[in-house]
Amino acid sequence: MRFVAVLFKLVLIGAGAIAALGVAILGVAAWTHSNVAKAHGTCEMRIMENAIEQDKSSEYRRACMKSHGYLMTGDCFVRSFSTASCFVPRWAVWIEKIDF
């Protein structure tokens, strides 16, 4: 009977640890998304302030986002998209990115 109680406590502790890890991962994802949107907004403002032409704005946006530490995903590069969701942090090594 005592073994079952100890086993039950270990299962509860393990479930709590897994839940805490899940919350931490969700927190990091939300924080990263917020920072990408903020950096993208900053780059958009620079494009408007400097009156950069439409055909040059995507190259400027990519360079600006790179200076903030974000690289464009390969899929968005091929399709010529330039929204905030097209940029990911450099540390996300598992995502295909364009770095030039």
pTM: 0.66
**Tokens matching residue 94:** 């598992």
Give the span between the Cα atoms of 84 and 76, in whole angstroms.
10
Per-residue pLDDT at 15: 92
The better pLDDT of the pair 32, 13 is held by 13
Give the span between the Cα atoms of 87 and 54, in whole angstroms.
19
pLDDT per residue as tens digits for the range 27-86: 887 787 788 889 999 998 988 888 888 778 888 888 899 999 899 988 888 787 888 888
Task: Indicate if the pLDDT at residue 18 is higher than 80.
Answer: yes
Per-residue pLDDT at 39: 92
